[in-house]
Amino acid sequence: MLRKVKLAHQLHQACQAAALDAYREGSSGLASWLPARCNGNVGARCASTSAGPSGSHQAPAAAAASTASTSGSEGETPLSVFSRQSQNLAAMPLYPKLLGFAGAIPFTTLTPAFVQTAGLPDLVDYCAQMQLVYGGSIVSFLGAVHWGLAMSSSTMAAGGSRAAGALNERYVWSVVPSLGVVPALMMPPAQGSLAIAVLLGICYISDAAYYRSGYLPSWYMSLRGYLTLLALCSMLATTGHYLKRDVERAKKLMEEEDAKRAARLEARAAEASAAAAAAVASSAAAPPAAVAQGRGRK
């Protein structure tokens, strides 16, 4: 009996020493598991220590791996910009997505570069004017979106409250784009397309501010990002085409003026040389005539 007690006491001390060593090595799960398992039937319980610690090591290891993966995902962005935008496209409602991208087709197909590539150079000015009018209608539509959202707002704001002020602000802003379109449509395509591009950028900045305030859904801003980029590139392409054409025309006019100026200078030089030659010829012919006149007098 005394031998059994001594053996159990020795096994208990060995288990405690192993637990202490494991704790020093950083395995807290093993340190909490071994003393509890070594109490009572020491011989049977301590025989299973080879299997117990492995399971206790697996749980902290899995937790550490998940923590490392989480920290890595926070440090490195798991999705690229393209994949994020693909997810945003997939999350958009179908009909707004189809109608929105279909509405971007006139912006791109009415650009002078596209019309010239299509073999219709005589229609460049006409298509540019159509693009200008279409861009103005889109800008007016972007303002009307806020009018409609303000009308359909479910918030019953009391007069003078903050919500009522926000609704009134949206009503006021909704008419600003259409008012800015009017002078843009009266400009030539070069200046008008630039003005429409500026208005599109202002509308996007305003919508981004309303989105941060919670007044617009996230899918709408994702769609607006794509469509605004396409529209801006198309309008600026038209502006660049006409600016390039104006620069070429001005350069050609300057070359023509230089050619005319050079021609006038050459004509004046020719006239001066002819007059000088005539003067030399007249001075060379004058002495014989004077001698003949003197002889006649004698």
Question: pLDDT tens for residues 25-58?
Answer: 544 444 444 444 444 444 444 444 444 444 444 4
pLDDT of residue 276: 84
Residue 100 lies in a domain: yes
Mean pLDDT of the chain: 76
3-class state of residue 83 by DSSP = helix
- My answer on whether 201 and 95 are in the same domain is yes
Pull the structure tokens for residue 286. Answer: 């004058």
Residue 244 lies in a domain: yes
Lowest mean pLDDT among 122-131, 168-177, 193-202, 271-280: 271-280
- My answer on whether 111 and 9 are in the same domain is no
Number of H helices, E strands in the chain: 12, 0
- Give the separation between CA 38 and CA 122, rounded to whole angstroms: 96
Residue 292 lies in a domain: no
pLDDT of residue 47: 41
Residue 211 lies in a domain: yes
Contact 85, 105 (CB under 8 A): no
- My answer on whether 15 and 98 are in the same domain is no
Residue 193 lies in a domain: yes
- My answer on whether 56 and 138 are in the same domain is no
Pull the structure tokens for residue 44. Answer: 């049977």
Q: Is the dihedral of CA 10, 16, 20, 26 positive or negative?
A: positive
Indicate whether 228 pLDDT > 70.
yes
Give the count of domains, the chain. 2
Question: Once rounded to an integer, what is the mean pLDDT over residues 157-186?
Answer: 83
Lowest mean pLDDT among 76-80, 89-93, 180-184, 259-263: 76-80
Indicate whether 64 pLDDT > 80.
no
- My answer on whether 107 and 244 are in the same domain is yes
Pull the structure tokens for residue 26. Answer: 């950083």
**212-216 contacts, C-beta under 8 A, 24 or more apart:** 213/166, 215/149, 215/166, 215/170, 216/149
Residue 281 lies in a domain: no
- My answer on whether 142 and 212 are in the same domain is yes
pLDDT of residue 75: 43
**Global confidence as pTM:** 0.61
- My answer on whether 21 and 119 are in the same domain is no
Q: Which residue has the higher pLDDT, 109 or 45?
A: 109
Contact 124, 112 (CB under 8 A): yes
- My answer on whether 130 and 201 are in the same domain is yes
- My answer on whether 197 and 106 are in the same domain is yes
- My answer on whether 49 and 126 are in the same domain is no
3-class state of residue 56 by DSSP = helix
Reported as a pLDDT band with limits 50, 70 and 90, residue 295 is: low
Q: Which residue has the higher pLDDT, 190 or 9?
A: 190
Which residues, 6 or more positions from 160, have their beta carbon under 8 angstroms from its beta carbon? Answer: none
pLDDT of residue 84: 73
Pull the structure tokens for residue 191. Answer: 């200046």
Residue 94 lies in a domain: yes
Question: Once rounded to an integer, what is the mean pLDDT over residues 234-259?
Answer: 91
Pick the closest to residue 157 from 171, 147, 167 (CA basis).
Answer: 167
- Give the separation between CA 272 and CA 150, rounded to whole angstroms: 81
pLDDT of residue 126: 94
- Give the separation between CA 176 and CA 173, rounded to whole angstroms: 5
- My answer on whether 43 and 155 are in the same domain is no
Type of residue at 42: V
Domain span holding position 145: 89-250
Q: Which residue has the higher pLDDT, 77 or 128?
A: 128
pLDDT of residue 55: 42
- My answer on whether 122 and 35 are in the same domain is no
Residue 174 lies in a domain: yes
Q: Cα Rg for the chain, rounded, in angstroms?
A: 45
